[in-house]
A = this chain, B = another copy of it.
Amino acid sequence: MTTTNLTQDTETCPAQGLLKSLSGKWKPEIFRLAVASALRFSSLLRQIPGSNKQTLSLALKELEEIGLLQKVVIKQKPLHIEYHLTAKGRSLVPVFLQLEGIV
């Protein structure tokens, strides 16, 4: 039987890493906005009232590190930087939707 085992005796919870990466004051909202469209730093600041540069910067860095977002430099006139969902990020979308269903 190939049952996925949630009750295994491993040291820590396998979902813990991802849950931790998604926890934080602004990370769920950042992820949600990233699903809607590519993110830019300055507009993100405007889109999330109450947030601040420092924390958003750190959050983006962490979401990038765990592979949910990727930084893309757009070499154009004003030189933009965008944060895009990765494939891993997209695979998280249905899980997000299910979470919303439970709420």
Contact = CB atoms under 8 A, between A and B. Distances in A.
Interface of A: 4, 6-7, 12-20, 22-24, 28-29, 31-32, 35-37, 88, 91-103
A30 to B, nearest CB: 9
Nearest to A94: B98
17 contacts: A6-B32, A6-B35, A6-B93, A15-B32, A15-B99, A16-B29, A18-B99, A18-B103, A19-B19, A19-B22, A20-B23, A20-B28, A23-B23, A23-B24, A92-B102, A95-B98, A98-B98
Contacts of A93: 6
A16 B22 CA distance: 9
B7 A32 contact: yes
Which of A13, A29, A35, A96 counts the most chain B CB atoms within 10 A?
A: A13
